[in-house]
Homo-oligomer: A and B are copies of this chain.
């Protein structure tokens, strides 16, 4: 007995040592991540053009140091040991080790030279894409995209498992548990339920006074209103900041520092309002994570779609609701006295919910948005299966836009070249945007049963809503998979009908059908 106890104690001490070792590595890896995060924030917001060549050199060195740590024998062995003994770890650490083990396995499956070569390709590819987009010439980007696709196909191959093959590897990478099987089902429902509904809606005209859309909205006044929105959404400015950048984004290191950006167009008032609300949705998620997870690799958001569900929940379900603007339209009118003098709350509400088949995904309304995603999903799948090649993309793109949205694509800039994602080697990411909206609707359905959302908004902030989401989703960070979180928050598995019903209900009312 005594001897057995001793052995068990030894094993436990042994595991404690491995946990300590792991935590040492984690702290260092996080320090490199912190430095890279800081540099990347600067790059995306204010860095002078002439610094990038030097910057690339130093970030290269820092990544290499981090890569060496992650592929060091000791780290790999430590992770492996903890993985074997994960039943002896607490829940959060066990989950973290499973995820870290996956990352380590992935890194080890890709030959370092190919990885480096790909990183070098990606260092210039976004520039090439930008040039092609500006010059409206797909041929400029084609050779570069071809190289990227060659790598992505190889990457998917390297990472294949008994269960996951081809495109599924990439999809599951961004959204655990979602492969073509699940997405086919999801998009199948949307095709059946939404496509005819969109046709019906877009055949009708929405009447409202749209004079305000022709006005000019000074940048500084828009910033003032964005700051007001910050307060409405209870954003903690002690642990984050708002800035400007070409493309709005949110970027956090932990609950201690979650930053976001907005872009201001003086001729488009609603653009900055809704990008602020959207990014603040992401930021709220990160700020409300359990701070005890700050030092781990399982803080932040559970998955891409879950993150997007929060930004879209605030942007569309709350931010484009009549209840929200009943409270805040007065402040908007006060900020833009002259421009909004003759625009009623209802004019504004209709304007921000107008449905229209359009070319550009990022400017699409809430209802047609998922159609833009389906186009990209279908194309990526065909590309990964080898059914089409990069040179086929412009034609396929235009054909599918005609099919899904019923409109002609006048230029590649407004067509196949519109999104930055592929130039960054990001394939399998787009579907999470639509899935996020569907998660949001399912979560909203449950929230309405538990709190009076209209009443919650009436005191001028989203505090009660934030708190509900914190308890049900945010506090868990990445310690649960998205399907587990959905179960905790809604008591049900994923069901896309909540999304369909939410959209049909909302837009039937707006369009009086």
Q: Which of A51-59, A162-170, A185-193, A415-423 contacts B (4 or more CB under 8 A)?
A: A51-59
How far is B49's CA from A239's CA once the two chains are assembled, in angstroms?
Answer: 7
How far is B49's CA from A42's CA once the two chains are assembled, in angstroms?
Answer: 18
Q: Mark A230-265, 1 if CB is under 8 A from B, else 0.
A: 000000111111010000000001101100000000
Q: Mark A27-57, 1 if CB is under 8 A from B, else 0.
A: 1101110110011011000111111011101
Q: Contact: A256 with B61, CB < 8 Å?
A: no
Is A17 part of the binding interface, using a Cβ–Cβ cutoff of 8 Å? no
Is A140 part of the binding interface, using a Cβ–Cβ cutoff of 8 Å? no
How far is B57's CA from A48's CA once the two chains are assembled, in angstroms?
Answer: 28
Is A215 part of the binding interface, using a Cβ–Cβ cutoff of 8 Å? no
**Given A62-B31, A65-B28, A256 contacting B39 (CB threshold 8 A):** no
Interface residue SS majority, chain A: helix
Q: Give the oligomeric copy count.
A: 2
Q: Contact: A239 with B30, CB < 8 Å?
A: no
CB distance from A45 to the nearest CB of B (A): 9
How far is B58's CA from A487's CA once the two chains are assembled, in angstroms?
Answer: 36
CB distance from A371 to the nearest CB of B (A): 38
A39 surroundings in chain B (CB, below 8 A): 34-35, 38
A238 surroundings in chain B (CB, below 8 A): 48-50
Q: Which of B30, B49, B61, B237 contacts A48 (CB 8 A)?
A: B237
Is A484 part of the binding interface, using a Cβ–Cβ cutoff of 8 Å? no
CB distance from A349 to the nearest CB of B (A): 34
Q: Which of B49, B50, B58 contacts A31 (CB 8 A)?
A: B58
- On chain A, the number of residues with a Cβ less than 8 Å from chain B's Cβ atoms is 37
Is A464 part of the binding interface, using a Cβ–Cβ cutoff of 8 Å? no
A1-44 at interface with B (beta carbon < 8 Å): 27-28, 30-32, 34-35, 38-39, 41-42
Is A294 part of the binding interface, using a Cβ–Cβ cutoff of 8 Å? yes
**Given A35-B39, A39-B38, A54 contacting B257 (CB threshold 8 A):** yes
A241: nearest residue on chain B (CB-CB)? B48
A28 surroundings in chain B (CB, below 8 A): 61, 65
Q: Contact: B253 with A54, CB < 8 Å?
A: yes
A240: nearest residue on chain B (CB-CB)? B48
List, sorted by A's number, 30 A–B pairs whose CB atoms are closer than 8 Å. A27-B61, A28-B65, A31-B57, A31-B61, A31-B62, A31-B65, A32-B62, A34-B62, A35-B35, A35-B38, A35-B39, A35-B62, A38-B42, A47-B241, A47-B257, A48-B237, A48-B238, A48-B240, A48-B241, A48-B257, A49-B238, A50-B238, A50-B257, A51-B253, A51-B256, A53-B256, A54-B256, A54-B294, A55-B257, A65-B65
A residues whose Cβ falls under 8 Å from a Cβ of B: 27-28, 30-32, 34-35, 38-39, 41-42, 46-51, 53-55, 57-58, 61-62, 65, 236-241, 243, 253-254, 256-257, 294
Known: A31-B61, A48-B239, A50-B236. 9 other contacts (CB 8 A): A27-B57, A28-B61, A31-B62, A34-B62, A35-B38, A48-B241, A49-B238, A51-B239, A54-B256
